[in-house]
Amino acid sequence: MTNFAIERAETRDIEVLNEIERECFAEQAFPKSFLKYLILYPHSIFLKAMIGGEIVGFIAGILQASHRVGRIYTLDVKPEFRRRGIASKLLQTLESEFKNRGIAFSVLEVEVTNTAAIGLYQKFGYRSVRVLKNYYGKNRNGLQMVKNLV
C-alpha 147/C-alpha 150 separation (Å) is 9
Q: What is the pLDDT of residue 1?
A: 54
Closest to 59 in 3D by CA, of 70, 45, 79: 45
Mean local confidence (pLDDT), 120-140: 94
- Using the predicted structure, report yes or no on whether residue 87 has a pLDDT greater than 90: yes
Asked if 89 and 122 touch (Cβ cutoff 8 Å), the reply is no
Within a domain: residue 74?
yes
Strand partners, 131: 143
Q: How many domains does the chain have?
A: 1
Residue 72 burial by CB count (10 A; 0-12/13-18/19+): exposed, middle or buried? buried
Could you tell me if residue 134 is inside a domain?
no
Question: Given a cut of 80, is residue 65 above it in pLDDT?
Answer: no
How much is the pLDDT for 113?
93
Question: What pTM, to 2 d.p., does this model score?
Answer: 0.93
Q: Which parts of the chain are beta strand (E)?
A: 5-8, 44-51, 54-64, 69-77, 105-111, 127-132, 142-148
**Residue 52 three-state SS:** coil
Does residue 145 lie in a domain region? Answer: no
User: Residue 90: inside a domain, yes or no?
Assistant: yes
Inside any domain, residue 123: no
Any domain includes 23: yes
Among 78, 80, 149, 75, CA closest to 119: 75
Domain of 17 in residue numbering reads as: 5-110
Query: Domain for residue 65, yes or no?
Result: yes
Which CATH number is 22's domain given? 3.40.630.30
Q: What does the pLDDT read at residue 2?
A: 63
71 in any annotated domain: yes
